[in-house]
Structure 1
Amino acid sequence: MAFLRFFLPVLLAALAIVSPSEAKKQHRHGIHKLDGVDVSHEVVHQTTGAKLPPVNTTYYFDQLIDHDDPSLGTFKQRYWFNYQYYQPGGPVILMNAGEGDASPAVPYLLADLGIPGVLAKEFNGVAVLLEHRFFGLSSPYPDLSVKSYRVHTIQQAIDDHEYFVKNVKLAMPGGDQLSPDKAPWILMGGSYPGALTSFTMQNKPGLFYAGWASSAVVQAIADYWRYFEPIIEYMPQNCSTDMQAVIAYVDDTVASGDTSKIQALKENFGLGGMVHNDDFASHITDEFIGHWQESGMIMGNGAFQEFCDVLETDDNGKPAGPQGLGLQHALSAWGAYSRVDVNASESPYLDRKELSCNLHEIACFGTYNPQSPNYTNTTVPNDTRSWQWMVCSAFGFWQNGAPEGKPSIVSRMIDNAYYQRTCQLYFPEAFSSPPVNLLTALDVNKQYGGWNVTTERLIFVNGRRDPWREATVAADGSTSKGWDLQPHLLEDGYHCNDLLVEESENPVTKAAQEQAIGYLRTWLADWKPSA
């Protein structure tokens, strides 16, 4: 089943434990989650030496359920903060965790791990992490029905920012004196939260003094086949050539209508029991290709690197030359690799366990069963479902096969209709017939600026190798090139890696980080309270 490779890739630990088909839908654009880092210890204030609560201490803010109708009451929105570097007059750095449980992102609040912590230390500020509505345990309603999702919109999330910064009282000395008129607030986030940073500052001018938008997917695009362009551009040429050859063969074989050849092809990949051809074509690339956005080939990332090594090593163990090893070898090697995924108890593609599906059940990978718990489960939490709502109702970002005449490393059977059907399976009450989303994506761009954002004191940082690059201001089609009050910084990395301290080992990434901090230093020197 084709999945949306979105926010929340894994760096130090697995993603949430989900079924294989859920995992395919869950690969969002998002910050790396630092699940493996212990932040349960006390921290010490750098000036007073006072012992402070651990940064993973959870706090709850009474957030409005519906900003258009405050009479509906409030819900408990989770947040975390670290004030070990704070001095009176320092800024508040607010990071939205985006489309998932926010708790694994808490380490970003520490200066040796995440840029929010770095900024807090650099400017004597306090770093705050906010959980997005309908993700993690911050749900306005006890179920995730279409009725509940009426208040699951970009605008409600933007309004959450405003209500939070104007009303939160942080449990720290002076924590009730940090409203935006008394202290400068800096909003930041990566991927969708990066876009939300841009959207918020465009929609609420003056609320945040400055912003840092990492890999911000500001331009909603329904048919997002360009997701794969940076991958093709930067992956090994031989692997790309052979992948394209296999995908073309798959599409041609299915198009031929020869049932015996189609069945033989499916069995080559260990998927002989898969009924629907588009699900089959989608699955053979799903489980490894989304890993590119985590760190691609540079860090020896397991799934993608392993796949190319398998594809480009001949039967004698000799690596291929620049032109690859050709269709027949690639088809055989790819098939063997896929069969391990389907048949082994532990998949080389997935480092997560299954709940609702067994990896041996080919039905797990299908998108035609409306009774599947993947589509019907409305219990809280269910981050996959909540993100799918935003994709179907606002963004699109469907990672389709490329148009004819363009190189494609995924099947052209994967198109808008394929994803529209999935939206209908998840939310039949809302999307009973196509088209689901095409015009809505254009509405998002019109409402919040997209590539044409005019906000000042907003820093965009993007990576050349990021598959989300073409939805950011760094896209070839972007109409805005930035200026001194809206810097567009381009580094050599992947998705949201500029938000991690350890990525400063890459001198190009480090230069972008330092340049961004320099802009903030200049701007903060000019800030004055209005209260």
Structure 2
Amino acid sequence: MAPPGLVALLALSASLVNARLQDGRPHGNAPPIPVLPVVEVLDSRTEAFQFSGSSIPPYNTVYYFDQLIDHDDASKGTFSQRYWHTWEFYQPGGPIILMTPGEANAAPYFGYLTNTSITGLIAQQEHGATIVLEHRFYGLSNPYPDLTPESLKYHTIQQAIDDLEYFANNVALPMPNGTGVTPDKAPWILVGGSYSGALTSWTMVNKPGLFWAGYASSAVVEAITDFWTYFEPIRQNMPVNCSADVAAVIAYVDETFSGENTTAIDELKATFGLSDVTHLDDAAGALRNNLWDWQSLQTNSGPGTQFTKFCDALEVKDGEVAGEEGWGLENALASWGGYWRDTYYSLLCGDANAEDCFGSYNASQEIYTNTDIDNTWRSWFWIVCNEVGYYQDGPPLGVDIKPIVTRLVNVETNYDARQCQLMYQDTYASPPLPDVERTNTVYKGWDVSIERLFFANGLRDPWREATMNAEGVEIQSTDRQPIVLSDGFHCSDLSAARGASDASIGALHKQALESMHNWLAEFTSSA
């Protein structure tokens, strides 16, 4: 049985293939931004100002735009790019607010049209219309009927940026005066989170003046190949007893798997139900799944989450909770192993054996060979392997911390790059490394400095160290480019509900809405 899927997210056998959530979605690399549950979508239409007698279609109405396949060669034709739209808050002169969920099928994301999202809050305040646009090569917005490398050569950051420009300049929106609100006539605001937050920054750098303002949530603006710091916000913010015990187990795993005591190696693999796993880096890397569950806190940070259950399994013994130092290696190893064997393994793997579930060396696995469209992870890892990296591995040996993930998975051994080679076997003769230097040079990465761009980040976001709030970033927050850090997780601030329940996110929302109001007052139509 091949691994049933790939980082709203987004991990092939550790960081690329096999990490999965309970619902079968993979995670570990850039996750799609959170879906706003339908039950959260308020009937804000009672407050809508409708300046004509036209009725507003349901939020989930799908529209289609003829997008260029190749912005460098229009003769290649067009494809149908899906989008969703409402003008319920719109008044003449108001902004057009465009967001893309980025690396995901966009159909579930129509909640971002409404005032349950920061997008809708801006629209409500400024009397704007909202749009959700599906990114090329995700969902059903595909130039070609497969995801082969020959098709994916048109799947680049630059083509995605050019899509946004061509859409804004040419779409006839299904609303009153829908052809008269192009960016020269009305202010457009670009919104995104995670990868699409970075895309917001990259677009405003690459297409200055196209979007009047931008809101970038948890924007991973800096492309990083060896992204071991993904796990640092987790280590810094998880319960200290849990991090102490996890670090103790990982140190033992690395020592044992790096040694020659085959008896100890076999016993350790069996402790976690991983006896069938052939390669020790796969076995050690599989344990990152428990840390990737931290990302699920972006939508639910209360009790009962998978990450909370994991730490409880390690730290609660006979009704007593361990102190800050944890229970120590012996108890932590037995408890973590028992949790894996009895509970967690089936959530990740179902009935699959451990090698099929966590092995990353078999080129015939379906995860590497499936080229069907609407395969989020194949599309996403084309960008990962070519342009952004974000390999979530262990810290280098010279870093003086107690790691919570194995150092056996690292860039030097090409663990993730090798999987890129397997996924796109017709493209790479050897493990590739993404050209992150080019990405950061062209789109400015941490060096972005542009007018009317609001960065919203979370202290507890595992992606924090690729955002403008990463340690060592020299660009400072200003009124023209605010860089605001809440106490939230990944893209928490995209949800209006989170702003109501978390004071730090509420304060961020207030500042963002004030910034948008002031910036929009500066717009003058050039038409």
Q: Output the TM-score relative to the length of structure 1.
A: 0.91
Deviation at 1:204, TM superposition (A): 0.3
Deviation at 1:403, TM superposition (A): 1.9
Partner Cα separation in structure 2 for residue 68 and residue 441 of structure 1: 22
Partner Cα separation in structure 1 for residue 186 and residue 310 of structure 2: 50
Partner Cα separation in structure 1 for residue 10 and residue 252 of structure 2: 32
Q: Of 140, 156, 162, which aligns to 1:153?
A: 156
Q: Of 177, 198, 201, which aligns to 1:198?
A: 201
Please tell me the residue identity of whatever aligns with 2:462. P
Do 2:103 and 2:376's aligned partners in 1 also have CA atoms closer than 8 Å?
Answer: yes
Distance 1:321 1:25, change over 3 A: closer
Q: Within 5 Å, which residues of 2 pair with 1:330-341?
A: 330-341=332-343
- Alignment partner, residue 64 of structure 2: 60
Please tell me the residue identity of whatever aligns with 1:457. R
Q: Within 5 Å, which residues of 2 pair with 1:207-246?
A: 207-246=210-249
Partner Cα separation in structure 2 for residue 120 and residue 155 of structure 1: 28
- Alignment partner, residue 70 of structure 1: 74
- Alignment partner, residue 293 of structure 1: 295
Q: Of 374, 377, 380, which aligns to 1:384?
A: 377
1:523 aligns with 2:523: no
Do 1:4 and 1:398's aligned partners in 2 also have CA atoms closer than 8 Å?
Answer: no
- Alignment partner, residue 122 of structure 1: 125
Deviation at 1:166, TM superposition (A): 0.2
Distance 1:4 1:222, change over 3 A: farther
Deviation at 1:41, TM superposition (A): 8.9
Deviation at 1:291, TM superposition (A): 2.2
1:511 aligns with 2:507: yes
Deviation at 1:38, TM superposition (A): 8.1
Partner Cα separation in structure 1 for residue 8 and residue 444 of structure 2: 21
Deviation at 1:343, TM superposition (A): 5.9
Q: Of 465, 470, 473, which aligns to 1:475?
A: 470
Partner Cα separation in structure 2 for residue 448 and residue 210 of structure 1: 17
1:502 aligns with 2:505: no
1:453 aligns with 2:467: no
Partner Cα separation in structure 2 for residue 73 and residue 20 of structure 1: 40
Deviation at 1:430, TM superposition (A): 2.1
Distance 1:459 1:343, change over 3 A: closer
Partner Cα separation in structure 2 for residue 510 and residue 363 of structure 1: 45
1:96 aligns with 2:100: yes
Bigger shift: 94-103 or 396-405?
396-405
Partner Cα separation in structure 1 for residue 27 and residue 484 of structure 2: 30
Partner Cα separation in structure 2 for residue 342 and residue 522 of structure 1: 50
Do 1:464 and 1:491's aligned partners in 2 also have CA atoms closer than 8 Å?
Answer: yes
- Alignment partner, residue 439 of structure 2: 444
- Alignment partner, residue 400 of structure 1: 393
Identity, in percent, stands at: 47
Do 1:21 and 1:374's aligned partners in 2 also have CA atoms closer than 8 Å?
Answer: no
Do 1:451 and 1:472's aligned partners in 2 also have CA atoms closer than 8 Å?
Answer: yes
- Alignment partner, residue 308 of structure 2: 305
Structure 1: unaligned runs, 5 residues or longer: 10-16
1:374 aligns with 2:360: no
Partner Cα separation in structure 2 for residue 378 and residue 245 of structure 1: 41
Partner Cα separation in structure 2 for residue 155 and residue 331 of structure 1: 47
Distance 1:321 1:38, change over 3 A: closer
Deviation at 1:407, TM superposition (A): 2.2
Task: Name the SS for the 1:47 alignment partner.
Answer: coil
Partner Cα separation in structure 2 for residue 172 and residue 8 of structure 1: 36
Do 2:314 and 2:332's aligned partners in 1 also have CA atoms closer than 8 Å?
Answer: yes
Bigger shift: 413-422 or 201-210?
413-422
Deviation at 1:424, TM superposition (A): 0.6
CA deviations over 1:6-59 (Å, ceiling 9, x no partner) = 5479xxxxxxx9899984456523311135448799956722485311010000
CA deviations over 1:98-157 (Å, ceiling 9, x no partner) = 00111111111111x111111111100001000000011111111100111111000000
Partner Cα separation in structure 1 for residue 426 and residue 489 of structure 2: 37
Distance 1:170 1:44, change over 3 A: farther
Deviation at 1:433, TM superposition (A): 1.1
Instruction: Output the aligned Cα RMSD.
Output: 2.4
Partner Cα separation in structure 2 for residue 267 and residue 36 of structure 1: 42
Q: Output the TM-score relative to the length of structure 2.
A: 0.92
Do 2:99 and 2:191's aligned partners in 1 also have CA atoms closer than 8 Å?
Answer: yes
- Alignment partner, residue 421 of structure 1: 418
Deviation at 1:172, TM superposition (A): 1.1
Distance 1:35 1:75, change over 3 A: farther
Partner Cα separation in structure 1 for residue 516 and residue 40 of structure 2: 29
Do 1:247 and 1:409's aligned partners in 2 also have CA atoms closer than 8 Å?
Answer: yes
Do 1:198 and 1:458's aligned partners in 2 also have CA atoms closer than 8 Å?
Answer: yes
Aligned residues: 509
